[in-house]
């Protein structure tokens, strides 16, 4: 009986092996890193690459990596993109760039118009930037697009022009020099005394002022020593290229032509226009 049972167990074991053995072998998973389980002897270490870790690289590989890294982080050159508009100049800084703008422009990248930067307003006028253009706020005595035209103001009587605390009158008739002195005196004024370049420039703003006119400068007392008629002060403001002293002894009175600023002494008997000057009413 025992022999029969023993034989039965052996038979069943062989039958079970025949039925399940091939399938189990087919479904078995190979050890990672090996073509099959039989290629890796027991105890072989699995590579870090298989486990998701990077393989160690050779010295040459490390060098290549450093080169790649430098390619990914080049030195910044912000000006290379030409960020400054309207002929602005880009200046590279430590942390950023700045734009040096051409006249007429402003802003981070010189993108905004700045019409006032060119100083369009004359005679101390104030430039005010607008949405589409600029405007000039003119001082007393001036008007026009750029405050370029002198006009009478309330501080001077009608027909007189205001500048820097004085009122000026350009005659509409010709007189000899002494008659011009008398005509100015009758109005409480005197033949003008020009003391500064600004005052000289002012005369160019008076409309229709384009002839030779008498001023108060003369050398009637001492030939060659020019003084102002009212104050008696010697001439202190004059540009050499604008002045000519005639060679005739009786040419003692000075006139000037406003467009050229040419000053010349001539015969006091000539009849010319003249300019009177007096203090304003305030």
Rounded to two decimals, what is the model's pTM?
Answer: 0.50
Per-residue pLDDT tens over the stretch 119-131 = 899 988 999 887 7
Assign residue 103 the CATH number of its domain. 2.10.25.10
- The answer to whether residues 141 and 237 belong to one domain is no
The vertex-238 CA angle with 232 and 242, nearest 5°, equals 130
CA–CA separation, 235 and 220 (whole Å): 14
Residue span of the structural domain in which 230 resides: 154-279
Spans in the chain with pLDDT lower than 50: 22-29, 31, 33-53, 55, 58, 60-63, 65-73
Q: What is the pLDDT of residue 21?
A: 52
Q: What is the pLDDT of residue 13?
A: 57
Question: Would you say residue 7 lies in a domain?
Answer: no
Q: What is the pLDDT of residue 149?
A: 87
CA 216 to chain centre: 44
CA–CA separation, 24 and 26 (whole Å): 5
Question: Would you say residue 45 lies in a domain?
Answer: no
CA 193 to chain centre: 40
Name the domain count of the chain.
Answer: 3
Q: Specify whether the backbone of 74 is left (phi greater than 0), alpha (psi in -120 to 50) or beta.
A: beta
Per-residue pLDDT tens over the stretch 197-232 = 888 888 888 877 778 899 999 999 988 888 999 999
- The answer to whether residues 190 and 275 belong to one domain is yes
Q: Tokens 């942390």 appear where?
A: 95
Q: What is the pLDDT of residue 63?
A: 47
- In the listed set 94, 113, 132, which residue is the last one of a domain according to the structure? 113
């Amino acid at each position: 009986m025992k022999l029969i049972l023993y034989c039965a167990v052996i038979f069943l074991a062989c039958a079970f092996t025949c039925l399940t053995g091939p399938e189990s072998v087919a479904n078995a998973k190979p050890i990672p890193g090996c073509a099959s389980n039989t290629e890796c002897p027991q105890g072989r270490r699995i590579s870090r690459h298989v486990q998701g870790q990077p393989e160690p690289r050779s010295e040459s590989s490390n060098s290549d990596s450093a080169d790649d890294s430098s390619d990914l982080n080049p030195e910044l050159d912000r000006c290379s993109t030409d960020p400054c508009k309207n002929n602005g100049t880009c200046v590279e800084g430590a942390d950023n760039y700045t734009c040096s703008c051409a006249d007429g422009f402003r802003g981070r990248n010189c993108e905004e118009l700045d019409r006032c930067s060119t100083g369009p307003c004359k005679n101390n006028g104030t430039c005010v930037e607008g949405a589409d253009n600029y405007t000039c706020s003119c001082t007393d005595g001036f008007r026009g697009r750029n405050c370029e035209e002198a006009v009478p103001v309330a501080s001077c009587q009608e027909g007189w022009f205001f500048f820097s605390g004085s009122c000026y009158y350009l005659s509409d008739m010709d007189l000899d020099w002494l008659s011009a002195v008398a005509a100015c005196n009758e109005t409480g004024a005197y033949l003008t005394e020009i003391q500064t370049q600004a005052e000289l420039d002012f005369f160019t703003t008076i409309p229709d002022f384009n002839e030779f006119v008498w001023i108060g400068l003369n050398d009637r007392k001492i030939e060659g020593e020019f003084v102002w008629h009212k104050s008696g002060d010697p001439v202190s403001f004059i540009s050499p290229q604008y002045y000519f002293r005639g060679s005739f002894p009786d040419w003692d009175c000075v006139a000037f032509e406003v467009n050229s600023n040419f000053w010349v002494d001539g015969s006091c008997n000539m009849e010319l226009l003249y300019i009177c000057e007096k203090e304003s009413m305030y």
